[in-house]
Structure 1
Amino acid sequence: MDVLNLHHLRLFRAVARDSTLTGAARTLNLSQSALSSQIKTLEASLGHDLFERRGRGLALTEAGRIALDHAEAIFRTADDLTATLRNAGTGRKALRVGALATLSRNFQIGFLEPLIGRSDVEVVLRSGAQADLLRALEALSVDVVLTNLVPARDASSPYLVHSLSEQPVSLIGLPSAAGSAGRPLADLLADEPLILPTPESALRASFDALVEQMGIPAKIAAEADDMAMLRLLARAGAGIAVIPPIVVRDELSTGMLVELGRLEGIKEEFFAVTLHRRFPNPLVAELLQTFRNRGD
């Protein structure tokens, strides 16, 4: 049996990603003929064609798709090993965190609190769209992704989804609206202008289902896809915000905002997403365990 040539495998992955020999050869700074020859050598070694011609491009065969899955796993493991061992024995450890751009900052700080201020730890925070963060997770550019959206998964998905917390959702407004506290929920929802998450969020879907069930036409004053913006709109008096109290924890403690009512049956869930890794960052496990212990 031929020994698998990892150099050939890396070239194969480049062609598979580009779908053309010409583009991959340009990226790799190789001649197209040299690249084609090495792909043929890999195919001969594996005993299967990995590509088939489709129009002007190349498409993976079934064997090619299987080979690409294994190639990605091999190179993820290699990158993981390199990153882990390169930092072994160093005085400071790094934790790279990706967080959904719209996620509550208070929740993020609460999750990272055990590491904040530690002289042996550097925390690197990156925010963005979920798809971009998950790609960064698979590329080992981040160690964990914090989100309130469960990523799509199937039997081949590499993700581990850790449920961290369920937060209640309330109606939050200025102290001038304090006279509304204690009013029936249906009256509040029907009479007051509301600040809502945008329709694509899970929280908004739950809220829309609630008001439809109650037969209430909600008066929407503003919508935002960012928890920080919902908080600022509530502070500005744009209306009553439908928001987890943790997002406005500081404003509630100082009396800048008040909780007018709790939306029973609606929860905001928070998750940490990690990968199956041979060399996981131990700081991730430390944070997850600390967070679980808080709930005990």
Structure 2
Amino acid sequence: MAKLNYHHLQYFHAIATHGSIAMAAKSMHITPQTLSAQLNLLEVQLGYSLFERKGKRLILNEMGHITLSYTQEIFSLGDELVHSLKNHSTDFSFRFSIGVTDVIAKVFSFNLLKSIYQMDNSIKLVCKETSLEVLLGELAVNKLDAVLSDTSLPTGASLKAYSHLIGKCGLSFFATKALATSLKDGFPKSLDGQPFFTAGEGSNQHLNVLSWFNELAISPKIIGEFDDSMLAKYFGKAGYGAFCAPTILENHVVDEFDVEVIGRTTDIVEHYYLISPERKVKHPAVQHLLAEGKRLFAKPMLLN
């Protein structure tokens, strides 16, 4: 395959942005015929069509979205090159984009991701937090280099990627000192009938905790379900009820929210995965995070 022509990518980007050859050609001050011919050359070189026609508009297809993602990254690097040369700078800003599922505690994300700056302080860290489904979609089109998740890549996923297990831990249960004093004895049976906060409905932790309660034949009084785990901790701190969190966060929860540990269990296990596409498995930042993650889990309950 011949080397890509930077101008062809500019033409393609203009069409993708404007949604039609006529509008893109007008913005670039060239004829629609010339622009159409340049797009055809790019598609022939790549071996794929990049758009689908819907009326007068051109809509990116799957290969078009992938090409657009790479094109934007190439243009970004080009802009950084020009900026560095204009400012006579030898600094190179290495960009690492990672998605974090919204159920991962922010304190864990921080303690893991801050190690990125140990690699090179010129690194630009870009972090997006949302659902795993959305993040995997962005991973597929090269908008992300990796995803930090509490679950592995779903079975049957079309994305060619690897789920690297960073570590796993049990759950710790917390309450204010006044409440914890009465709940420590006989834990976990002591939770029966007691006010309790859980993770949001549908989350792995929510389902696993309720299943564990069922196996123990106990029925804590669920008075709150929160997608944001911070809310559960704040309500627990205020004395409204007990709550749980991954054991690796234990010291942080005790110090930050002035609560005590009621008890722990390893019957429920929280997993942490770093999902990366095949082409990014050897990415230096991915390898660094894997090593740092294993270091964090080597000393459980010491995350602050």
TM-score by length of 1: 0.69
Q: Please tell me whether the aligned partners of residues 100 and 127 of structure 2 are also in contact (alpha carbons under 8 angstroms).
A: yes
Does residue 283 of structure 2 align to residue 287 of structure 1?
Answer: no
Residues 221 and 147 of structure 1: CA distance in aligned 2, closer, same or farther (over 3 Å): same
Q: Please tell me whether the aligned partners of residues 172 and 240 of structure 1 are also in contact (alpha carbons under 8 angstroms).
A: yes
What's 2:104 paired with? Answer: 103
Greater Cα shift, 24-33 or 144-153: 24-33
Q: Please tell me whether the aligned partners of residues 81 and 279 of structure 1 are also in contact (alpha carbons under 8 angstroms).
A: no
What's 1:129 paired with? Answer: 130
Measure the CA separation in 2 of the matches of 1:269 and 1:278. Answer: 21
Does residue 183 of structure 2 align to residue 180 of structure 1?
Answer: yes
Matches within 5 A, 1:1-296: 21=20, 25=24, 33-34=32-33, 35-39=35-39, 68=64, 71=67, 75=71, 78=74, 90=91, 95-112=96-113, 114=115, 120=121, 122=123, 124=125, 126-130=127-131, 131=133, 133-134=135-136, 137=139, 143-152=145-154, 154=156, 156-177=158-179, 178-188=181-191, 190-252=192-254, 256-277=258-279, 282-293=284-295
Q: Please tell me whether the aligned partners of residues 172 and 263 of structure 2 are also in contact (alpha carbons under 8 angstroms).
A: yes
Q: Please tell me whether the aligned partners of residues 227 and 247 of structure 1 are also in contact (alpha carbons under 8 angstroms).
A: no
Greater Cα shift, 172-181 or 206-215: 206-215
Unaligned runs of 5+ in 1: none
Residues 83 and 146 of structure 1: CA distance in aligned 2, closer, same or farther (over 3 Å): farther
Residues 283 and 84 of structure 1: CA distance in aligned 2, closer, same or farther (over 3 Å): farther
Residues 260 and 246 of structure 1: CA distance in aligned 2, closer, same or farther (over 3 Å): same
Measure the CA separation in 1 of the matches of 2:66 and 2:256. Answer: 55
Backbone CA RMSD of aligned residues: 4.7
What's 2:301 paired with? Answer: none
Residues 219 and 118 of structure 1: CA distance in aligned 2, closer, same or farther (over 3 Å): same
Residues 217 and 203 of structure 1: CA distance in aligned 2, closer, same or farther (over 3 Å): same
Give deviations 1:248-270, integer Å, cap 9, x for gaps.
52342589212213244211211
Residues 111 and 30 of structure 1: CA distance in aligned 2, closer, same or farther (over 3 Å): same
Q: Which amino acid aligns with 1:231?
A: K
The structural deviation recorded for 1:226 is 1.5
Greater Cα shift, 71-80 or 104-113: 71-80
Residues 147 and 90 of structure 1: CA distance in aligned 2, closer, same or farther (over 3 Å): same
Residues 287 and 120 of structure 1: CA distance in aligned 2, closer, same or farther (over 3 Å): same
Residues 59 and 152 of structure 1: CA distance in aligned 2, closer, same or farther (over 3 Å): farther
Aligned-partner SS, 2:240? coil
Q: Please tell me whether the aligned partners of residues 230 and 243 of structure 1 are also in contact (alpha carbons under 8 angstroms).
A: no
Aligned-partner SS, 2:110? helix
Residues 85 and 253 of structure 1: CA distance in aligned 2, closer, same or farther (over 3 Å): same
Aligned-partner SS, 1:191? coil
Measure the CA separation in 1 of the matches of 2:274 and 2:228. Answer: 19
Q: What is the identity percentage for the equivalent residue pairs of Structure 1 and Structure 2?
A: 21
TM-score by length of 2: 0.68
